[in-house]
Structure 1
Amino acid sequence: MTCPDCGEERLSFVVPSELREDVPGEPISVLLCPHCLQLEPVEDPNTEFTDFTTLSDALPKDEDTAAAMALAAALLSSLALHRQHIDALLDRVEAAGVDPLLVLDRLADDPELEPNFDIESRRRQLLQLRE
C-alpha cells in the first residue's frame, strides 16, 4: 500500500505485544513509510515482522528494539501529542542497550528519509525534555 503523503510503498509490521501499550491506539500492526515516516495503525493480524534494515541501516539489529525505535521516530511528527509514548518507547530502546539519541542522529543523516518534520530539531527538543 502506498503512502498518501509521498507515494512510497509502505512497510507493514506487527507491533510487538510488549510495545502496543506504548503506541497510540494500541494497534496490532502499522504501516510505516520508509521515506517520510508517516505512520498508520492497522488491524491486520496477518502482518508479519518486517526487515527494519529496509527502513534504515541506522536502526538497531534486534527486531523488537528496531520496532520501538522506528515507532518512536515516526511519532516524533507530533512530539507534543505523543511525548509519553515516545518516552516509553525510547526507554525500551535504552533498556536494550541502544542510545536512541545516537540512532536519531543517524536517521537525520540518512539521505533516504525525508519526514515532514526536522529530526534534528525534534532530537534537541527531546533531549531537553528528557533531562
Structure 2
Amino acid sequence: MTCPRCDTVVVTFPVLEALRAHAPEQAAAASICPHCLAVDAVDGGGVADTDEDAATAGDAAPEFDRVHESFPSGDGGVAFALLIGTLPSIALNKASARALREHAEREGVDTALAFDRLIEAVREAELVPGFDLERRVHQLDSLLDGH
C-alpha cells in the first residue's frame, strides 16, 4: 500500500478499539507514511488480524522503525502515530491529541523526546512532512499544556 500524497510504501497498523475514536475515519486500521508522515485510514484488508495472538503474529507488529529508528513501538507507537495524524489540524483535534498523547505516555513513550527526534530527522531531510512539524508540535504543547 502506498501513500496517496508521495507514493511511498506506508507502515500499516491496527488501531486499538480504545483509540478508534481518534483514528482517521474511526478506522480499525491506519497507516503512516515514512516519508511525509501522512496518517490515513486503511480499509480492513491492509493489516494483520488484530485478534491474532502476539506470540504467533511474528511479522505482524507494525514496522514503525521504517518511519524513524527512534519511533516508539507497540501500543505507545500506535498512539504516537495517531497523534502525528492530529497535527495538521491540531486546533480542531485538541481532544483527540490530548487523549492520544496521554495514552502514548501511559505506554511509556516520551512524546517530547520522540517529537524532538522526528524534528531532527526533518532538519536532516530524512523526513519531509506535508506540514511544519516543529511549528505544529509547538502548537500542540501550547494547546495541551497552556491551560
What band does the TM-score fall into relative to the shorter chain?
A: 0.7 to 0.9
TM-score (norm 1): 0.87
Q: Which amino acid aligns with 2:25?
A: G
Query: In structure 2, what is the Cα distance between the partners aligned to 1:102 and 1:19?
Result: 22
Alignment partner, residue 25 of structure 1: 25
Name the larger-Rg structure. Answer: 2
Alignment partner, residue 77 of structure 1: 88
Alignment partner, residue 15 of structure 1: 15
Q: By how many angstroms is 1:129 displaced?
A: 1.1
Alignment partner, residue 129 of structure 2: 115
1:10-53: CA deviation from partner (whole Å, max 9, x where unpaired): 22221122221222432011122111111221231561241211
Q: Quick check: which one's helix share is greater? A: 2
Query: In structure 2, what is the Cα distance between the partners aligned to 1:97 and 1:15?
Result: 18
Q: Is the 8 A contact 1:24 1:85 kept in 2?
A: no
Relative to 1, partners in 2 of residues 1:3 and 1:97: Cα closer, same or farther, differing over 3 Å? closer
Query: In structure 2, what is the Cα distance between the partners aligned to 1:59 and 1:41?
Result: 20
1:65-90: CA deviation from partner (whole Å, max 9, x where unpaired): 01111111122111122221111100
Q: By how many angstroms is 1:55 displaced?
A: 1.5
TM-score (norm 2): 0.79
Alignment partner, residue 56 of structure 1: 68
Identity rate of aligned residues, in percent? 35
Q: Which runs of 4+ in 1 moved over 4 A?
A: none
Structure 1: which 5+ runs fail to align?
none
Q: Over aligned residue pairs, what C-alpha RMSD do you find? A: 1.7
